[in-house]
Structure 1
Amino acid sequence: MKKFLTLFFCMLWSGLLCSQDLHLSGKVTAATGLPIKNVSISIIGQSRYSVTDSAGMFSIYGLKPGVYEVNFIHIGYQKKVQIAVVATVDVFLTITMEQRQHQLKEVSVRNKRGKIRGQTESMNIEVVGSEFIQRNLGGSLMQTLDRLPGINTIGIGSGQSKPLIRGLGFNRVVVVDKGVKHEGQQWGADHGLEIDQFAAGEVELIKGAASFLYGSDAIGGVIDIKPRAIPGKNTFGGAVDLIGKSNNNLYGTSANLFARKNHFFYDARVTYQNYGDYRVPADQVFVYDYAVNLKDGRLRNTAGRETALHFNTGYIKDRFRTVFYLSNTYSKSGFFANAHGLEPRRVDTEMHDRSSRDIQMPGQEVNHLKLINRTEYSVAQHRLQMELGYQHNFRQEFSQYVNHGYMPPAYPDTLNIPADLEREFDKHVYSVNLRDEFKVGKHLLTAGVNAEYQHNRINGWTFLVPSFNQLTAGAFIYDKYELNDRVLLHAGMRYDYGSVRLFEYQDWFPSEGATGTAGGKLTRANNLKRRFGSVVWSAGINYNPEHFVLKANLGKSFRMPIAKELGANGVNYHYFSYEKGDANLSAEQSYQADLSLGWDAENWSVLITPFYNYFPNYIYLNPTAYHDYFYGAGNQVFQYAQSKVMRYGGEFKLRVDLLKGLSSEFVGEYLYARQLSGDKKGYGLPFSPPVSGMISLSWSPVFGRNLDDTYFAIDYRIAGKQDRIVPPEKKTPGYTVINLQAGTKINLFRQPVMHSLQAQNLLDTKYMNHTSFYRLIELPEAGRNLILSLKIPFH
């Protein structure tokens, strides 16, 4: 590690001394003074280019003294050419662009930015903006994004979900919010992400290993959620979002207010959603062969409500900016009453069926507080960035007390734990990220360090995962080398260090007669401290002629085992299983090869992105032949183990413009996973999505001045059967689903009011989603759902 850090700082210092080229920067605004985002800037005759950020700022490094013609291009604005004289000092330009009379659709701007990001990164990156989120609003941000190939979700009822990227999820996918890694209790399949999708600006999805930039858990991919754009100077305004859903009778609103004078701004948002039990196209389901009747097809006790508060403020100048983000997200929701606990038949159906909107036990309450500061400073040829973050994730699960094993039949009054508090997790997280981006000749270098400390404590009358402290730190350097105007080479290296300390836990009740207790209390978890370290790397190439796209990337990634994998020892009431960790697990290593091949023409485009992935020591939960009767109520024992795993697959996307305003798209994905060693040799991996595809047809007619951005779309989704499973998973038959979308922007009193209507599962099809949390009990997906959303901005 010392040799690596010495080399790292030597390279950083040499970059500071040698990067003496000049720097051209500036700001692009409209005639109204508002900044323009995603303006493409290029220097005629050179392979230098940039794109403006949300504040209209851009930077081009590595220039020699001279006179340059600079192009400024943005769809909807007149092209502008500016002469820049770069002599002996850095130059700052202020550019004003004039709007055209007829603007193209805003979605085209988003696609341009995604294309530029794809051309400059060797990783498989997809970028979607707030327009995509508005058009595809789901029950959560992850459900909104699962329309994209390679992105799936583990659905948890109608309001919660977890992301899967190419079949990997949980702690193998990093979710970044405003530059800081989001940390909740993401190890559980029933633990959703505490993210307000109305507050998201742009979302960047990285498919495949990205540990060399993001650290340990990015072994499967990254979902990077960007904040909304900073308001322009001398502006005041906001927006009100309204949403309603028919399936679970959801109603909600999100109100935003912002203002900026000169350098200071504020941006506030309040979001509230309330929903009832959601409906499936079935009157009866089977929970482990026990028939459960459903009233009106509704899953009793799946109602919930969510509240989110956001306040952002900061100081913005040309070369310096610092922004503070404060948010608090709270949710209260129920668990499907017949699929939680040790005995699904002990359910008061009469009580639950009185109302579809009440929240009874079993249920959960989650509160996530975040305070993030992002600071950026540009000096000479350097762009210095820093993120500081604090998070407090507080999660409680409630259920009626049910004894099992040696637990007393009646809950003791003397116990200092609420009788309905099944589990509690209280996590505090402190994060720091430091980066420096600078140019040395044709090299664009990024060097940085990251560190994170977690402090997690538990409570409740049951036990699954012990309290723990965790520290991770890493240092990296990433180089983009511009060989010529068509070829870009990439290379990155990183060293990570991590330590986790588990704390001893004893039962609060004696286990008389159990082996090794002598009438005392069983010790579920012992004190344990483990340390992990690894060097990871990535290398790639981009070849970008006029229409052809070729990207290739090789890399190694790393993930240290989490507290649950090391120290679990209890009943998982959501899966009717007994889970045990292994204190001797080694850190996961992953080797991956990615390839992107595409052609982008005027009226059509095609992209194929195959990948190959090999784990020499993949960590998985292995079902054994044993059952625990001491304090597991006879549940089957699942033991964490490691095996060699091979995975390959890819995504496919084809777009064709059929007529003016009429286009068609086909997207598909395929994943094959196989365990090459261990007790489950020959089996696949849990939550592996089946082969699937989607055919869509979109029509964007032009109706007149008061109607803009009108669209109609139909999606036909096809999923194959999934029979490569790991018991106790069950095979899933294939299915087809039809979804409809329509929307328009109505100009009222010079304000655009955006309308969006979706019909999900139009034909009320009964089907099983293999990546659903409730798939284990053969619970079908939600039935027909009409979603109406309105966005009313004001200035």
Structure 2
Amino acid sequence: MRNLFIAIALCMVGIGMAQNQVAGVVRTSNNETLPGAHVHLSQFSQPTNPIGGFEFNHVSDGKHRLVVSFVGYKTKDTILDVTQSVNLELILQEDQQFLNELVVVTNAQKQIENISRVSQKQILENYSGSFALSLAEVPGVNASQIGAGQSKPIIRGLSANRVAVTENGVKQEGQQWGADHGLEIDAFNTEKVSVIKGVGTIAYGSDAMGGVIAIDNTAVPADSLTGVVNLLAKSVNDGYGANVQIKQKKNALYYKLNATFLDYADYKVPTNQIQYLNYLIPIYNQRLKNTAGTERNFTAQVGYVNNKLHSFIQVSNNYVKAGFFPGAHGVPNIGAVQPDGNIRNIEFPYQSVNHFKVLSNSTYITEKGEFSLNLGFQNNHRQEWSKFHTHYSNQLPPENNPDLELDFKLITLDNQFAYKHKWNALQQTKVGLQYQYQQNKSTGYSYLLPNFDRKAFGVFATHEYQLSSRLKADLGVRFDYADLKIQSYYDQTLYDYLVGSGKSDALANYYALRTPKIDRTFNAYNFALGFNYVLTPKWNVNFTAASNFRFPTAIELGSNGIHHGAFRHEQGDANLNPEKGWAFDAVFDYQSDRFALAFSPYLYYFTNYIYLKPSGQFSILPHGGQIYTYTQSEAILGGFEIKATQKITDRITAESVFEYLKNQQITANRNLNYALPFTPANSVFAKVSYAFGDTNVFKNSKVYFSGKYAFEQNNIAQNEEITPHYTTFGAGINSTLVIKNFKVHAQLTATNLFNEKYFNHNSYYRAIQIPELGRNIQLLLSIPF
């Protein structure tokens, strides 16, 4: 017995002595830390923390396989002989063959999410004039284009307030509901982007039921001063622009500066006339008049980083001024589209948007956990200018800014706190609190959106559990509460007009109360469950199921006016309930040395989807037309995405993407089960690229050809038009030119190569028969220093 105790004691001592710590940091070849890289050490695995670090405890003596990977970088795979605690510095090199691919990534380190990751280099190589359009090659992602310089993202047919866009954890807030309202994000200032499809509600709350586009600008720069100058030129709108980025780290402090200037003229379309409201409107010289614009963006970030703390503050200002095609703003006016001899001027009507933002992000890392605090202030100021015109004979122009039709000032304050606790190598829990306050003020000689104040509170918890070396489960729960106070608006001008037109006092009073006082509170409980299973070293399966929700917005509850940007009279419903539903998402992912396949089916069910429905009643507002009322019904949405990538040879790579989506409302009358509005057409995309060998001067050279076929979109909402099928082609070549110490990366691309006349079902101008942009030749030069 005594010998047994001695043996046990020696064994325990041996085990204790054999428990080591393996820690380190993952960096890029530019010496920047790489948060979110995946580090696997035998049976242990974890993503690197916000400062690129990782830490494994209780590692036994012996040889362990160490694998470090991140999308767009070459995987580091080696054997680590552990005899004592070690601290590693791991450098990942860019994978030039892989950087052009936008690949779906599912992995066991993320919570109940189907993620596509896009690097800044990929954003620039797919740059098409705006941030959202630059993501259009991600499977399941489309964009609603607003002219040549602005757009908003669509994920699986859901957009506007159903898709959340975040920067460093704080949700971008503006007038997302408008069809003519773009996204004020500088595509040149997006270091990494994660497109979360399916279930985003647990971590992000309301407005994320369709998905999340998360921008991460938290990379810590290298110690030396580095920077890049990007120069841009486009043929379709004679556009040009420049972007300058400067960054440096010195000891624990660092800074990053980004400035972008863009200017573009009226853009070209492959047609000489359009038909709108039975008017034939000429398009002179195939240029859409008054679609010129300008953009000025500036961002500054100052941070502090050490082994435990990463904290920074970021200040940015995005300004956009762009014209509206005058032949489609309100009643068609053929005279307004006559050429004025200047394709770069911006006349009435036009929009100007200034988005000022201050973000603060702090992460503190302990041995067992991670604290994070995000603070945000946003001031989104949107104006729509149009020469004063009135539909009422008794309305006089305002004394100040008489041509300011609509003026929206939205202020948003965000506070977010989260704590992640690592119980052991197999389990971790994250809890979070979120609070948001919004105030909107609306003025102008027209009326559409009421003034409102909104407060929202959310609390969530997630738990990750590695059940085995192959199976991981994630569970999330969340509670949200919102209080919305909408001010009433009485239109005295409308009352006087109606009484003057012979209407009774009671009827005039009824219609003059454009928006009643609305005081609503909402709450929602939600949960999500996800599994990730590694079938084989090459096959991986990810499945998520979750409830989701979205609180109705002020525009859906209290709007009542002519929305010229959407070409209709829109009317809210103060009795709308929160959207609720269920979402199911799966990914079957196969990866080998030369072939990759991702198949992602999904199904969403909504118990009370909110949409604009033609009411069948005509507006009492002069020239108001038919009233479109926000209403609710059951709805179902389903489809799948398939992406395949094949390295045919070491130099030739082919990829293809097939997207299928179908949805419809569910009502008691099957004849009224229309599709949901703005549903993207099913499509097939293919690209073949060829990589040249390096020379003394030209490095990483590649040429590609691409084509897209969009099926006819006849699955349409009420009062939408069928959009014909179309085929477009593109091509591009890029290379890095190196002469001694001078380096420049050049990429020349062509879209709509054969100047095809086609319609995008999601385009802002689709409703008025304006086709998509004509052929565009674009040159982008990137000069690092």
For the criterion TM > 0.5, the same-fold answer is yes
Is 1:677–2:673 an aligned residue pair? no
Instruction: Give the CA deviation at 1:42.
Output: 2.6
Is 1:270–2:259 an aligned residue pair? yes
Alignment of 1:660-699 (within 5 A): 660-677=650-667, 681-699=672-690
Partner of 1:5: none
Partner of 1:726: 717
Partner of 1:48: 44
Partner of 2:228: 239
Partners of 2:178 and 2:754 lie apart in 1 by 32
Change (3 A) 1:303 1:160: same
Within the candidate set 281, 305, 319, 1:292 is matched to: 281
Instruction: Give the CA deviation at 1:125.
Output: 0.8
Alignment of 1:173-252 (within 5 A): 173-227=163-217, 229-232=219-222, 234-252=223-241
Change (3 A) 1:118 1:30: closer
SS at match of 2:695: coil
SS at match of 2:327: helix
Partners of 2:427 and 2:151 lie apart in 1 by 41
Partners of 1:491 and 1:77 lie apart in 2 by 29
Instruction: Give the CA deviation at 1:50.
Output: 3.4
Instruction: Give the CA deviation at 1:703.
Output: 3.0
The one-letter amino acid paired with 2:407 is E
Partner of 1:443: 427
Partner of 1:8: none
Is 1:622–2:613 an aligned residue pair? yes
Change (3 A) 1:207 1:32: closer
The one-letter amino acid paired with 1:26 is G
Partner of 1:400: 387
Partners of 2:178 and 2:194 lie apart in 1 by 24
Q: Is the 8 A contact 2:51 2:310 kept in 1?
A: no
Partners of 1:708 and 1:107 lie apart in 2 by 12
Alignment of 1:250-649 (within 5 A): 250-341=239-330, 343-345=331-333, 347-350=335-338, 352-404=339-391, 406-408=392-394, 411-412=396-397, 415-441=398-424, 442-509=426-493, 510-513=496-499, 514-516=503-505, 522-544=512-534, 545-629=536-620, 631-649=621-639
SS at match of 1:141: coil
Partner of 1:6: none
Partners of 1:690 and 1:104 lie apart in 2 by 35
The one-letter amino acid paired with 2:333 is R
Partner of 2:58: 64
Q: Is the 8 A contact 1:174 1:217 kept in 2?
A: yes
Change (3 A) 1:300 1:444: same
SS at match of 2:758: coil
Instruction: Give the CA deviation at 1:24.
Output: 5.3
Instruction: Give the CA deviation at 1:380.
Output: 2.3
Partners of 2:145 and 2:101 lie apart in 1 by 28
Instruction: Give the CA deviation at 1:615.
Output: 0.5
Farther-moved stretch of structure 1 (516-525 vs 654-663): 516-525
Q: Is the 8 A contact 1:334 1:363 kept in 2?
A: yes
Partner of 1:18: none
Q: Is the 8 A contact 1:212 1:537 kept in 2?
A: yes
Change (3 A) 1:729 1:692: same
SS at match of 2:774: coil
Partners of 2:640 and 2:712 lie apart in 1 by 17
Partner of 2:87: 93
Q: Deviation string for 1:714-764 (max 9, x for gaps)?
A: 111000001111232100010000011210111233353111111000000
Q: Is the 8 A contact 1:278 1:303 kept in 2?
A: yes
Instruction: Give the CA deviation at 1:33.
Output: 6.0
SS at match of 1:64: strand
Q: Is the 8 A contact 2:327 2:337 kept in 1?
A: no
Q: Is the 8 A contact 2:415 2:434 kept in 1?
A: yes
Change (3 A) 1:111 1:363: closer
SS at match of 2:374: strand
Percent identity over paired residues: 31
The one-letter amino acid paired with 2:237 is N
Partners of 1:348 and 1:115 lie apart in 2 by 49
The one-letter amino acid paired with 1:388 is L
Q: Is the 8 A contact 1:119 1:542 kept in 2?
A: no
Alignment of 1:70-109 (within 5 A): 71=66, 73=68, 93-95=87-89, 105-106=95-96, 108=98
Q: Deviation string for 1:249-280 (max 9, x for gaps)?
A: 00000011112211011111110000001111
Gaps of 5+ in 1: 1-20
Change (3 A) 1:658 1:379: same
Q: Is the 8 A contact 1:417 1:461 kept in 2?
A: no
SS at match of 1:659: coil
Partners of 2:75 and 2:427 lie apart in 1 by 32
Partners of 1:218 and 1:248 lie apart in 2 by 34
Partner of 2:776: 785
Instruction: Give the CA deviation at 1:115.
Output: 3.9
Farther-moved stretch of structure 1 (192-201 vs 51-60): 51-60
Q: Is the 8 A contact 1:511 1:522 kept in 2?
A: no
Q: Is the 8 A contact 1:319 1:377 kept in 2?
A: yes
Q: Deviation string for 1:67-94 (max 9, x for gaps)?
A: 47563646669766556677xxxx7724
SS at match of 2:213: strand
TM-score (ref. length: structure 1):
0.90
Change (3 A) 1:184 1:23: farther
SS at match of 2:203: helix
Q: Is the 8 A contact 2:477 2:528 kept in 1?
A: yes
Q: Deviation string for 1:588-623 (max 9, x for gaps)?
A: 002111111132122112111011111110000001
Partners of 1:704 and 1:58 lie apart in 2 by 38
The one-letter amino acid paired with 1:408 is N
Instruction: Give the CA deviation at 1:479.
Output: 1.1
Instruction: Give the CA deviation at 1:408.
Output: 2.2
Partners of 1:522 and 1:664 lie apart in 2 by 61
Partners of 1:430 and 1:740 lie apart in 2 by 44
Instruction: Give the CA deviation at 1:481.
Output: 0.8
Change (3 A) 1:30 1:670: closer
Instruction: Give the CA deviation at 1:54.
Output: 7.4
The aligned length equals 754
Change (3 A) 1:472 1:221: same
Instruction: Give the CA deviation at 1:37.
Output: 6.6
Partners of 2:381 and 2:650 lie apart in 1 by 52
Instruction: Give the CA deviation at 1:116.
Output: 6.4
Q: Is the 8 A contact 1:326 1:372 kept in 2?
A: yes
Instruction: Give the CA deviation at 1:29.
Output: 5.2
Instruction: Give the CA deviation at 1:529.
Output: 0.7
The one-letter amino acid paired with 1:436 is Y
Partners of 1:717 and 1:266 lie apart in 2 by 41
Change (3 A) 1:737 1:416: same
Partners of 2:132 and 2:457 lie apart in 1 by 28
Farther-moved stretch of structure 1 (468-477 vs 22-31): 22-31
